[in-house]
Structures are given as C-alpha cells and as structure tokens.
Amino acid sequence: MDPQTTWGEMLDALADGDFKAASEAAGALLNWLRRGGFPPQPLTRVLTDDWDRMICQFVCGQVLATSGKQEINQ
C-alpha cells in the first residue's frame, strides 16, 4: 500500500464526485493506519506523523460518513 497515492486517489475521487471510489480509498487508508502503517503527508506543510495520522483519520472518517448521503442525493 502506498498511503500517499491512496490519499491522492481519495481526493481526486471526491473532486470528481465519485463517492464510491472515495469511500473505498478512505476505507483502505483507515485500515492501513489502524494496522500501524505510516500516514501520508496530507498537507504541503510538513507536520509530525502524529498530526498527519490525525488529519487523515478525520478526513477518511468524514468521507465514509458522508459518502452514502452524497450518493443518495445525486
């Protein structure tokens, strides 16, 4: 797993309105992080792994929480 690539794919899918693909990437990234994998760098500013992990977990959680609602509303 390349978490940086997965993060980018999730953001690209969100930008394209492909909530299914975004959810799949978010789920894969969350599983990776929960198993102790290193986080991607979510921002252009370099932060510690702890901050990167928290940002990624929050955003992935939001994607998963809202993806079903977005698909229904389309």
Cα 21–54–6 angle (5° rounding)?
A: 30
Confidence band for 69, pLDDT divided at 50, 70 and 90: low
pTM for the full predicted model: 0.85
Helix axes 3-16, 19-34, angle to 10 degrees: 160
pLDDT in tens, 21-36: 999 999 999 999 999 9
Confidence band for 67, pLDDT divided at 50, 70 and 90: confident
Helices vs strands, H then E, count in the chain? 3, 0
Number of Cβ within 10 Å of residue 57's Cβ equals 16
Average pLDDT, the chain: 91
